Amino acid sequence: MSRVVVTGRIPDTAIEKLRAEHEVDAWSGPESIRRDELLRRVAGADAIVSLLTERVDAELLDAAGPQLKVVANVAVGYDNIDVPACVERGVVATNTPGVLTDATADIAFGLILMATRRLAEGERLIRSGQAWKWGMFFLLGSSLQGKTLGVVGMGGIGQATARRAKAFGMEIVYQSRSELDPTIAAELDARRVDLEELLSVSDVVSLHCPYGPATHHLIGAEQLATMKSSAFLVNTARGPIVDEDALATALREGSIAGAGLDVYEHEPRVHPGLLGLDNVALLPHLGSATVETRTAMAMLAADNALAVLSGERPPAAIS
């Protein structure tokens, strides 16, 4: 029997699955676990099931000890994990791709609609109690039909977002490290372009690339200036892909029309320059937040941990 430490609350079904085979120490406090408490608890762990609110770095791996075999992140993004530090110590790192694709694409498309059709603005107006009535020019937004969606990062979530856009009558361009599978490219009628072209031709730019040194501030002042003044930026990937100072300036000065954000550069803090702007829709990192999706994510993380603990290849290894 091995010792599994779970760093935060996850659905009971996943805890039960782990408990059927191993001793499980799961943090169940209402707040995220404090770092000192986490460092203490991981000592002697064979597996860590981590949430993206916890940093899994050399300090934490060393606090666990040399018997640690696996870090199973309950997220597809793994910028909270120092993967080279895991590799150095022979620890397998895993994530949860696939199971949150549709949920995240739904939120990306929700933000596209919120931003282009000014949904949050309308909702705020009603709740504020201000007088309003139908008017020919009242809260006019932008239509999506016939417009171009630029997808940055055409993995599963980018493709699922493009599929939704296609159903709304949009054209698709994308920027990605690799060419799409020809069948999918034909289905989406999607054209691969470089980032500069994507930014200059798109009416909506949606970010779906992983975060790392290569994508830090991928969208900054220069890239925002390349976008059309009528265009919208949507980010459901990771906050630091966008330079939020530059975005707040572009939105305030009208150099782009609007934005929709689910993630933030210094999450959970939101840039104060964004909070007062009406042309940005703001969500609190809800991409994968459905009961079904979070359950599937936790079950996949449990399967990953269990596989490594029994000497098998995990379904979703990062390293």
Active site residues: 238, 267, 285
- Binding to ligand DGY by residue 8, rule CB under 6 A? no
Tokens describing residue 102:
């549709």
For residue 52, the minimal CB distance to ligand DGY (Å) is 6
CB of 77 to ligand DGY, least distance (A): 3
Q: Would you say 52 or 227 has its CB closer to ligand DGY?
A: 52
Instruction: Closer to ligand DGY by CB, 70 or 81: give it.
Output: 81
Inter-residue contact 24 to 6 (CB < 8 Å): yes
Structure-token pair, residue 148: 């171009």
Instruction: Find the shortest distance in angstroms from Cβ 100 to ligand DGY.
Output: 5
Site string for ligand DGY, 46-75 (x = CB under 6 A): ------x----------------------x
Q: Which is nearer to ligand DGY, 116 or 288 (CB)?
A: 288
Contact 54, 61 (CB under 8 A): no
CB closer to ligand DGY, 75 vs 227: 75
* Cβ atoms 64, 85 nearer than 8 A: no
Question: Are 241 and 219 within 8 A, CB to CB?
Answer: yes
Say whether residue 170 binds ligand DGY (CB under 6 A): no
Q: How far is the CB of 298 from ligand DGY (least distance, A)?
A: 11
In 242-266, which positions are buried (b, 16+ CB within 10 angstroms) versus exposed (e)?
Answer: bbbebbbebbeeebbbbbbbbbbbe
Pick between residue 17 and residue 208 the one whose CB is nearest to ligand DGY.
208
Q: How far is the CB of 164 from ligand DGY (least distance, A)?
A: 18
Contact 70, 48 (CB under 8 A): yes
Per rule CB under 6 A, count of chain residues that contact ligand DGY: 7
DSSP state of 211: P
How distant, in Å, are the alpha carbons of 124, 193, 207, 226 from that of 196? Answer: 35, 8, 14, 7
- Within residues 196-255, the interface with ligand DGY by CB under 6 A covers none
Distance from C-alpha of 168 to C-alpha of 187, rounded to nearest angstrom: 14
Footprint of ligand DGY on 253-312 (CB under 6 A) = 287-288
Nearest-angstrom CA–CA distance, 76 and 270: 22
Q: What residue type is 33 in one-letter code?
A: I
By CB under 6 A, residue 77 contacts ligand DGY? yes
The residues binding ligand DGY (CB under 6 A) are 52, 75-77, 100, 287-288
